[in-house]
Amino acid sequence: MATLQTIQKVVFLGLGHSGKSSIKSVVFEGKSPEEVMDYAATINYTRSTKGVLDSAFQIFDCGGQENFISVFVGDQAEFIFSDVIVLIWVVDVSNMDQISTSKFYFDHALKRLNQYSPEAEIYVFFHKNDLIIQNLQKQVIETMEQYFVSPYDNKITYRATSIFNQSIYLAIGEIIRTLMIKSTKAQTVSEAIREFLKQNKELGGVSIYTAEEGLPVFEEGELAEQIIIPANLCLTTNERIGSEFSVTDVFKTTIETNDYIFVFQHLKTTQELLLSGIARKIAPLQYVMVKMEQLATIVKELL
């Protein structure tokens, strides 16, 4: 993993109990939604470093109780809002009583972000979406989008999320991809993969996932639009994937579903899963495996 001079931050902010620590644990630490049910409020903030291919970033999970958040947008603003690459504002959409308080601090946070990290991407997660009655969801989210606009004209991306379905993985996966695109090396990798797919049309497409959490960092080809990653892969850790491998003498690192073959590459030295791909089942498994090996070699050489 490359060492970076300034490790850029992905900052989770939002009111207390909105679900920030739960999102972090479920997506980045492989916890199940049930395991985070009785999480206590975060005191001050926590930070952890994550590596994704050749990039690294820090995740700041900021406590959202008012005595903390008021300090983050106040006296500690420079510390919290410097070197931010992505700000994720989490709103509990099941708690409408708190919406205006959330917006109040959101506006303060944007002011600070514009001051210390004006280039940062801004996401608002309308979270705990599972608690809204299904036929009201669209209307609620649209109304919230109109409310959570920036007083400073920032571009904001809105996502409705829940830790109980794939929405949180899709949203975070998209953010991870944004981080990758910002890395020059990743662009080289992307180009190499695109080129490879052009030459090997039978594969249909490829998706690459992070070694540790299985987050999508790259998608290319026809698959990108069609694929819905099965929950058993999304809601996963290396260990869980390991237990689902089809174990044959030849292929120890594949999981097959009706339409797709999921391929995982073991890093022999550390036993980590370095790279995984998805191929649509239009070619025989053996062919797909050989192609994936070739692709992994190309990518490893570039990293």
The residues that touch Mg ion, with contacts defined as CB under 5 A, are: 21, 42
Q: Whole-angstrom Cα distance, residue 190 to residue 196?
A: 10
Q: Using the rule CB under 6 A, is 131 a contact of ligand GTP? A: yes
User: Which one, 127 or 159, has the nearer CB to ligand GTP?
Assistant: 127
Which residues are CB-contacts of 234 (< 8 A; sequence separation ≥ 6)?
A: 166, 169, 214
According to DSSP, the β-strands at 156-161 and 121-127 are parallel
User: Which one, 21 or 190, has the nearer CB to Mg ion?
Assistant: 21
Q: Using the rule CB under 6 A, is 163 a contact of ligand GTP? A: yes
Among 42, 58, 200, 207, contact with ligand GTP (rule: CB under 6 A) = 42
Q: Using the rule CB under 6 A, is 166 a contact of ligand GTP? A: no
16-54 core/surface letters (b: 16 or more CB in 10 A; e: else): bbbbbbbbbbbbbebbebeebeeeeebeebeeeebebbb
Q: Using the rule CB under 6 A, is 128 a contact of ligand GTP? A: yes
User: Which one, 50 or 159, has the nearer CB to ligand GTP?
Assistant: 159
User: Which one, 20 or 291, has the nearer CB to Mg ion?
Assistant: 20
Among 36, 56, 156, 285, contact with ligand GTP (rule: CB under 6 A) = 36
Taking residue 76's Cβ as centre, other Cβ atoms within 10 Å add up to 16
Tokens standing for residue 156: 């904001």
For residue 278, list its beta bridge partners: 262
Contacts 24+ apart (CB under 8 A), 244-251: 250/286, 250/289, 251/285, 251/289
Q: Using the rule CB under 6 A, is 102 a contact of ligand GTP? A: no
User: Which one, 65 or 154, has the nearer CB to ligand GTP?
Assistant: 65
Give least dist CB 127 to Mg ion, A: 12
Residues forming the site for ligand GTP (CB under 6 A): 14, 16-22, 36-37, 39, 41-42, 63-65, 127-128, 130-131, 162-164
